[in-house]
Structure 1
Amino acid sequence: MSNNHAKRRLPPLGALTAFEAAARHQSFSRAAQELHLTHGAISRAVAQIEERIGVELFVRRNRRVYLTTAGQRLLKTTSESLDALSHTVEEIHRHNSASPFLTVSCEPSLAMRWLMPRLGAFRELCPGLNIDLRMAGGSIDLLSENCDIAIRRMDFKVKADYQVTRLCSELAGPVCSKAYWESVQQDLNKASWLHSRTRPNAWDEWKSAYGMEKMIPNNEQHFDHFFYTLQAAQDQLGIAIGSAPLVSDDLKIQRLIAPLGMQPTGCDYALLTLDELNSDPRIAAFSNWLLEQVTR
């Protein structure tokens, strides 16, 4: 057996990851929570390393753990090694432009009501690039979630190292079917107000913008998601606060109307990427196509 081979007889990476978390927190319980493992799994991983190297890494006293001198040395090296691995994996992920797939994370309502109806046109334009569409909203870790690009409503703080490319401004206002608006005699007070639990403040924000804070509807109905609220408005169940671009197609063909108009909310939709758009031909093709779509 060569010396080089002997040097590579390291504990499993999973055990080292568990040790690093336990050593950093100086708590097996906190490490278990961070890694979504059990306390016993962390304890076994540490014991595996200790058995392999024949040295105790922690001193256990009164249900608490403290790093030994050997544990402190191993923590320093393990942390540096895991950081280096993470950096290398990130670099590989960022520059894998040869992949025939592009993983896109998009706000669910925007995906269903605006993006998906247009993806057929993108496939015709770039038949060799397959879009892996994942629906999610809010903050995102592109690297850990294995996404190349995210389309988001910018109502949260973005990581400082992300590239943010503005798509369009959001517009909002009450929307309903033309028949429903006529059935309530074009009177907002007589309408049933439709609410979304994912955007619970939509009506209050609209009322505040128009100085109508004291207005109280006669009837209200709540839905779990913004998409369902808009569908309910389309099905003549009431009037909802709709936003463009989500309802842009509906307004064009008058499936919905905005009888009181739509105004900017002060919030934008944007693309989030790890690097500049042109650094990856897949991202460049998709983002350029998206930017053309929002200007139509």
Structure 2
Amino acid sequence: MNGLRRRLPSSGSLFVFEAAARHENFTRAADELNVTQPAVSRALAALEAHLGTRLFRRGKPGARLTEDGMILKNVVVSAFSQIDNALREVESRRTGKSRVTLSVSTAFTTHWLMPRISRFQAAFPEVDLRFQLISGAVSGPLGDVDLAMRYSAPGDEQGRFVMQEAYVPVIAPGDQGAGAKGDAAPLIQLEGNEMNRFPGGEGWTRGEADSQLSFSDYSVVVQAALVGQGVAAGWLNVVAHWICEQRLLPTRDSVIVRPGRACRVIQRQDGPQVDIADQVAQWLVRELREDVIRMHELYPELGIGALLDPLSDRGDGI
């Protein structure tokens, strides 16, 4: 172990390296570690200087591992996984609870999971549920979490199929324009989306709106729609609870927009929590699919029930 300490500038450099190697992006690694991107760059440069080799090829769109970097990554990932498993087992023995970590969007956690967290706790009193929250695009590898909700391209059958990705224009009951197309209501947008339209939704290209709201986090987009600030694109796996509760309504003449991806729950295949994580994954899938069935019963004209067919993955916008 003394030899290992001499080969590293600091033990923390391995944590920085693992995050950067997993994301192949220094900015995303910095966000995960809650430090600045220059701090990550400096730490990795110091590690490379200490080892006397390049671990990354810097450039756009990100940083790619060299052959030496891949050798180190494989060993570090394996070692970290073993340490994490041991710590989880120690914690479980001490608390009597199994810790399950879920990687999901802030919007899904806020608007779908939190309203039913008491049901989860009743079903899994022995589980300590932790979160890796993603405020931007829901992507990235599983990493060291137990479960992750991700969107997959057609043909990618990794993980448990939940539903086809889809969204519809939604608005709060009684909001200005509710029950109509929503033309009179302000448009609530996620930053980075094209303004004034719902992509792929024929009939929803609008003229210049007098009032628009734009947010960087989709959870805030949904919250703004809930409190009656306008019409928003409602991703069905996120807003399913509020549609079933009729706190959000599809606008009249809504079209269902299907980008062509599938929502899936990916599961870690090793560690002491595999069995309980599998049960949690089954619960998530079952609850979401029950919401899809309920939405279909409320709005059969939208054809929401077809989203439960894993082969129904056309990204045709209708």
Check whether TM > 0.5: yes
Q: The TM-score by the shorter chain falls in which range?
A: 0.5 to 0.7
Q: Give the structure 2 partner of residue 132 of structure 1.
A: 130
Instruction: Quote the offset at 1:229 in angstroms.
Output: 1.8
Q: How many residues align?
A: 246
Q: Give the structure 2 partner of residue 108 of structure 1.
A: 106
Once the two structures are superposed, what CA deviation does each residue of 1:107-144 show, in whole Å capped at 9, x if it has no partner? 1101100012223212222211111122115323433x
Stretches of structure 2 that go unaligned for 5 or more consecutive residues are 18-25, 27-36, 54-65, 93-97, 291-318
Q: Residues 39 and 210 from structure 1, CA distance in 2 versus in 1: closer, same or farther, beyond 3 angstroms?
A: closer
Q: Give the structure 1 partner of residue 197 of structure 2.
A: 204
**Percent of aligned pairs sharing the same letter:** 16
* Counterpart mapping for 1:1-296 below 5 A: 9=3, 12-15=6-9, 36-37=41-42, 41-42=46-47, 45=50, 83-90=74-81, 98=89, 99=92, 100-136=98-134, 137-143=137-143, 146-154=144-152, 163-182=158-177, 186-197=180-191, 200-201=193-194, 204-206=197-199, 208-213=200-205, 215-260=207-252, 261=254, 263-265=256-258, 266-275=260-269, 280-296=274-290
What TM-score, normalized by structure 2, do the two folds share?
A: 0.61
Q: Give the structure 2 partner of residue 26 of structure 1.
A: none
Instruction: Quote the offset at 1:44 in angstroms.
Output: 7.5
Instruction: Quote the offset at 1:211 in angstroms.
Output: 4.9
Stretches of structure 1 that go unaligned for 5 or more consecutive residues are 22-29, 47-56, 59-74
Counterpart of 1:200, as a letter, is: N
- 3-state DSSP class of the match of 1:295? helix
Query: Structure 1 CA distance, aligned partners of 2:73 and 2:185?
Result: 58
CA contact (8 A) 2:196 2:208 kept: no
Query: Structure 2 CA distance, aligned partners of 1:77 and 1:223?
Result: 41
CA contact (8 A) 2:167 2:256 kept: yes
Query: Structure 2 CA distance, aligned partners of 1:243 and 1:81?
Result: 39
CA contact (8 A) 1:107 1:153 kept: no
CA contact (8 A) 2:196 2:206 kept: no
Greater fraction strand:
1
After TM superposition, the structure 1 stretch with the greater mean CA deviation from structure 2, 213-222 or 124-133, is: 213-222
Once the two structures are superposed, what CA deviation does each residue of 1:140-163 show, in whole Å capped at 9, x if it has no partner? 3433xx3111112447x99x9x94
**Max Rg structure:** 1
